[in-house]
Amino acid sequence: PKLAKAFIEEQVALIKEQVGDKKVLLALSGGVDSSVVAALLIKAIGQQLVCVHVNHGLLRKGEPEQVIEVFRNQMNANLVYVDATDRFLDKLAGVDDPEKKRKIIGGEFIEVFAEEARKLDGIEFLAQGTIWPDILESEEGIKAHHNAGGLPEDMDFELVEPVRILFKDEVRVVGDELGLPHDMVYRQPFPGPGLGVRCPGAITRDRLEAVRESDAILREEFDKNGLAGKIWQYFTVVPEFRSTGIKNGKRAFEWCCIVRAVCSTDVMTATAAEIPHEVMVHITDRITHEVAGINRVLYDFTPKPTGTVEFE
Minimal distance in Å, beta carbon 143 to ligand XMP?
A: 5
The answer to whether the beta carbons of residues 135 and 164 sit under 8 Å apart is yes
Give the Cα separation of 91 and 148 in Å (integer).
22
56 binds ligand XMP (CB under 6 A): no
Q: How many residues bind ligand XMP (CB under 6 A)?
A: 15
189 binds ligand XMP (CB under 6 A): yes
Query: At 261, which amino acid appears?
Result: A
Q: Which is nearer to ligand XMP, 23 or 168 (CB)?
A: 168
> With CB under 6 A as the contact rule, which of the stretches 48-56, 141-149, 221-229, 287-295 interacts with ligand XMP?
141-149
Site for ligand XMP in 190-229 (CB under 6 A): 191-193
What are the C-alpha distances in Å from 129 to residues 22, 39, 162? 19, 11, 8
101 binds ligand XMP (CB under 6 A): no
| Residue 34 annotated as part of some ligand binding site | yes
103 binds ligand XMP (CB under 6 A): no
Other C-beta atoms within 10 Å of 1: how many?
9
The answer to whether the beta carbons of residues 190 and 267 sit under 8 Å apart is no
Nearest 5°: phi and psi at 123? -80, 125
Give the Cα separation of 183 and 194 in Å (integer).
19
Site for ligand XMP in 7-36 (CB under 6 A): none
236 binds ligand XMP (CB under 6 A): no
| Residue 259 annotated as part of some ligand binding site | no
| Residue 183 annotated as part of some ligand binding site | no
Nearest 5°: phi and psi at 4? -65, -45
Which H/E stretch holds residue 125? strand 123-127
Minimal distance in Å, beta carbon 293 to ligand XMP?
A: 24
Q: Count, in order, helices (H) and strands (E) of the chain.
A: 10, 10
| Residue 19 annotated as part of some ligand binding site | no
- Residue from 11, 128, 233, 295 in contact with ligand XMP (CB under 6 A): 233
| Residue 35 annotated as part of some ligand binding site | yes
Site for ligand XMP in 249-308 (CB under 6 A): 267, 304, 308
Give the Cα separation of 124 and 19 in Å (integer).
8
Q: Which is nearer to ligand XMP, 116 or 310 (CB)?
A: 310
Nearest to 70 by CA among 40, 27, 41, 28: 28
DSSP 149: S
- Residue from 53, 56, 101, 145 in contact with ligand XMP (CB under 6 A): 145
Binding-site residues for ATP? 29-35
Q: Which residues bind ligand XMP (CB under 6 A)?
A: 102, 143, 145-147, 189, 191-193, 233, 267, 304, 308-310
